[in-house]
Amino acid sequence: MSITLYDLYHESKSKYKLKLIAGETGLKNAVSWVQFTEDIMTVNFLKGSELILTTGLNANNTKWIYEFVKELINQKSTGLIINIGNYIVEADINEEIKEICNKNEFPLLIMPWEIRLSDIMQDYCSQLVRDTKEQDNITTALKAIFAHPHNTSSYYSELNNYGFHQNETYCTMVIYFDNMRELDDKSKSIFINITNILIKEELNYHMYLDGKILIVIMHQINKQIVERMIDRLEKYKPITRIGIGDIGNSLYSISLSYDQANAALSTAKYKDVRKCYFEDLGMYRILFFVSDLEMLEKIYKESLEVLEEYDKNRGSNLLETLELYVRYDTSIQLVADKTFTHRNTVNYRVKKIKELLNDDISTMESKCRLQMAFYIKDYLSLKRQTGAL
């Protein structure tokens, strides 16, 4: 979980005599680094989410302060601390400046001239470096657990040290971006924006980028919070797809939730939808955890291949008729209604299907076997489309 300006401010406001002037609602935004600058012309070199410090050396009037703040907001900086008393005084920060800060949720703080900039910068940067190392260690542990879930007890112990406790609820979601590239400026900006969304929901989480996939592990979570979070993320346009795993009741559930989230993401891609919960996949949940795809294909072909070949050679659609016939519990009338076909035609097709399959499709076992074959058919199609088969 990233360090926010709120964390830095509340831990050190007395020590550095910080005073919040405007933009209080933006305090929960993440801080990636601390940067000192005096020149408005160099602001465009910022990458986003930096906390800016300045003395206002080049401030010859209040208009400069306004323009400086405006540029920092445009660069998606997290906030600004002005070292007042020499070049800028508190009275120079007029209502227009405060208004733009409040409107854009951009925290503006001041501290007296007597505070040395080097002290606060060293303090904040040290905290950020420690946090980055901690986040990297968590990411390493999670990657090891996801890759080898049955041989990772030491990594679970390490996660415990970082606040991932055994008897808490956990949920994993994976977020896909079509144009995501690791480490480029656009990707970092997207990462920062999603970080701020998660922080504002006051979630306990960890996330890391793996190619075009952003992996988010949430803990101390419930279904209502997850759904609210997904609704917010779904509105964020750079996100293409979201897969959400089930909520587990222990730390050891995160690997399973991760696999479930990836299965849900594959389904979202296949169905061309923005989000997919693993719990909504019904019978497909079983198939996602069958490793022997050749066995699945054999089961499918044993039940349906003869009809596929017949349709291919005759230009008929017996397979479609059978799928509906099984789905609607062998109701000729419902199949006729759904296909806008006369009952007699459906009766003829069903008679032919039974003849080809050598099965009157009257027992529960027979119907379940055929229904499962259709599930497998769709699942294998999904696997082919997503490149897993």
Tell me if 138 is assigned to some domain. Answer: no
Residues spanned by the domain of 167: 163-281
> End of a domain among 102, 124, 146?
124
CB 273 within 8 A of CB 198: no
44 or 31: which leads in pLDDT: 31
Cβ neighbour number for residue 99 with a 10 Å cutoff: 12
> End of a domain among 124, 148, 175?
124
Q: Write the DSSP string, 269-285.
A: HHHT-SEEEGGG-TTHH
18 or 61: which leads in pLDDT: 18
CATH of the domain at 306: 1.10.10.2840
**How is residue 21 written in tokens?**
């002037």
pLDDT-wise least confident of 62-66, 193-197, 295-299: 193-197
Q: Do 263 and 362 fall into the same domain?
A: no
Q: How far is CA 91 from CA 66, 72, 75, 79, 82, in A?
A: 13, 21, 26, 19, 13
Q: Do 10 and 80 fall into the same domain?
A: yes
150 or 21: which leads in pLDDT: 21
Q: Do 275 and 298 fall into the same domain?
A: no
What is the structure's pLDDT at 242?
94
Q: Do 261 and 328 fall into the same domain?
A: no
What is the structure's pLDDT at 179?
65
Determine the longest span between alpha carbons in the chain, in angstroms. Answer: 95
Phi, psi (deg, nearest 5) at residue 217: -110, 120
Tell me if 136 is assigned to some domain. Answer: no
Q: Do 107 and 15 fall into the same domain?
A: yes
CATH of the domain at 79: 3.40.1390.20
As a whole-number percent, the residues of the chain with pLDDT over 90 amount to 59
The DSSP bridge pattern shows strands 108-112 and 19-22 to be antiparallel
Q: Mean pLDDT score of the chain, rounded to an integer?
A: 90
Which three-class secondary structure state does DSSP give residue 47? Answer: coil
68 CB-near residues (< 8 Å, 6+ apart): 40, 43, 54, 59, 80
pLDDT digits (tens, 9 = 90+) for 209-261: 887 889 999 998 889 989 988 888 888 878 889 999 999 999 889 999 999 99
CA 72 to chain centre: 27
Report the domain count for the chain: 3
The average pLDDT across 164-185 equals 80
The average pLDDT across 174-199 equals 74
